[in-house]
A and B are shown apart, each in its own frame.
Chain A
């Protein structure tokens, strides 16, 4: 091919590759979900949360006494991966499972960085406000102190051999009895993903 024709063809050819955008609903943990080797995908959060919750429930570390659920606070969940993640994707699922099972309730009034929900504090600040019926404002000593704290770490390790890339995500959780300071349950779940590096083209 002549260089001139070749040059013009190379510049215009990409125009022929016009594509149409499509969108569809899929099962969040089904086969059609996107899987990325270097990232934690939705299905990974679900799997890790399910397995950790099962382990916690089976361990018997949290037992409601006389049908009264224990109170849990969320401690620090360290993110030692290379990506920004929302650790609530993990913790919320565990909290929901414990709550539904009647084993534990989570306090939103206490947290390492301050309360998760400032409302408990805000409503108490109305004690001096005459505009509010004081009988409807919670009295002193009603907030419940937590029995346990749930803390953990998410770790990422990457390995590569030729075009094969592997990412390992370790989800580590500890349940600490706040009276004794002892970790009464600990668990680690691994998710390992492997894939070949995509050949990037134009």
Chain B
């Protein structure tokens, strides 16, 4: 009886719909470019789940969707909610007994989503873009400084996780090899190393030299860092030269930076595997693991002025950023998932021995429902950030091309302008927003 009550409680905790199914309609609207509808769905879900373990990820989706829908102040409010929640989790001790126990008796999806490192950086980056859109330059710089601090913190966290991952992967190499868990590793075409998000650094650099009252020299530090991380693209080499001249007091022509956010970030799918534990009581366990799945292909983007066409440079491959995060986290996920599956198998065995057939059914249900991978991930992030800088033409007219899609924009007056272009799935309309930096 006692076992039955405990199992019932745990089943309640573990048996909720996966994030993948929760976000089905949201992702449908988002991928089709229906930003208004996506914002509505995300807002409804975020309100419904504001006190739940999924609150952070839903606030992030809400913030991104409202931003794309042009509701910048509301978007920042959603991001602030996510930020507060993340800060709340950060204030708690790094390892919580209750958290670990919950994870052990249920699954990792039953634990609160506390925001991954790249979520935190992107959250501040989008807030900064929103503030720039709202004409609040100082607030934007605050957000970019926060993003910079988060990047630095994440570089340290990443290094720590990589070392820990190597250690734990070594310990359970036999189990991991036996179950072919290596297949869960995502392919990463580009590897930025421990570095987190070059786009955030690029935006920070742009705002520093064009907006900031002080610390403008730091723009060059960021640009040099991205230049070396990305393997020295010509565009960044030019950008460093240009900014160096400007900081030395040289005049510059009217400039327009076009930021392309293309495609959609990878999501997580569940893979169920039988893993041998080489234990006589629990010889093997059935466990559910997350696997990263890319969506769509990389799309090139161009800016055309009359007949002249210039290709935008890839500044940040979000597939790589998310893939790197997933890869460094994976050994710990495997370890904790195996521990949870083993604990559940041991409990189910005990129940079967004590309560006979009824216990066997309850134990089976407990194991089946409890085996759920954590599939939560910020799904409305883009696949890539590309940037192109052009001298603003006299007629201020730019043609923007993303794959087969084409759109025209009349750039605002100003010394330095930014045009943000967001593309979704092929065929969905481009979303264009712009603001003046200087």
Contact = CB atoms under 8 A, between A and B. Distances in A.
Interface in B243-296: 247-249, 277-279, 281-282
A10 B168 contact: yes
A194 to B, nearest CB: 20
Contact of A87 (B217, B225, B278): B217
B152 to A, nearest CB: 9
A66 interface: no
A84 B216 CA distance: 10
B215 interface: yes
A166 interface: no
Given A7-B339, A15-B101, A84-B218, 8 more contacts: A8-B339, A10-B168, A14-B100, A15-B97, A15-B99, A15-B100, A18-B95, A82-B221
Interface residues of A, number: 31
Interface string A78-93: 1101111111100000
A122 interface: no
B248 A76 contact: yes
Interface in A1-48: 2-4, 7-8, 10-12, 14-15, 17-19
B213 A19 contact: no
B221 A83 contact: yes
A201 B164 contact: yes
B216 A113 contact: yes
B1 interface: no
Interface in A188-202: 200-202
A87 B160 CA distance: 30
Interface stretch (B43-51, B55-63, B184-192, B340-348): B340-348
Contacts of B335: 7, 10-11
B298 interface: no
Contacts of B93: 18-19
A116 B172 CA distance: 59
Interface string B317-357: 00000000000000000011011101100100000000000
Nearest to B338: A7
B214 A86 contact: yes
B127 interface: no
A170 interface: no
Nearest to A19: B93
Contact of A78 (B148, B164, B217): B217
A200 B100 contact: no
Given A81-B221, A82-B221, A4 B277 contact: yes
A65 interface: no
18 contacts: A3-B278, A8-B343, A10-B339, A11-B335, A11-B339, A11-B340, A14-B95, A15-B96, A18-B97, A77-B217, A78-B217, A78-B220, A79-B221, A82-B221, A82-B225, A113-B249, A202-B160, A202-B167
A116 B214 CA distance: 9
A87 B217 CA distance: 9
Nearest to B276: A3
A12 B104 contact: yes
A185 to B, nearest CB: 21
Nearest to A7: B339
Contacts of B16: none
B132 to A, nearest CB: 19
A112 interface: yes
B94 interface: yes
Interface in A149-202: 200-202
Interface in B85-102: 93-97, 99-101
Contacts of B279: 2-4
Nearest to A87: B217
Nearest to A81: B221
Given A17-B95, A78-B217, A8 B342 contact: yes
Given A15-B97, A19-B94, A87-B217, A8 B160 contact: no
B215 A84 contact: yes
A83 B222 CA distance: 8
B164 A12 contact: no
A90 B249 CA distance: 22
B428 interface: no
A10 B171 contact: yes
B248 A4 contact: no
Nearest to B172: A7
A15 B95 CA distance: 5
Contacts of A19: 93-94
B159 interface: yes
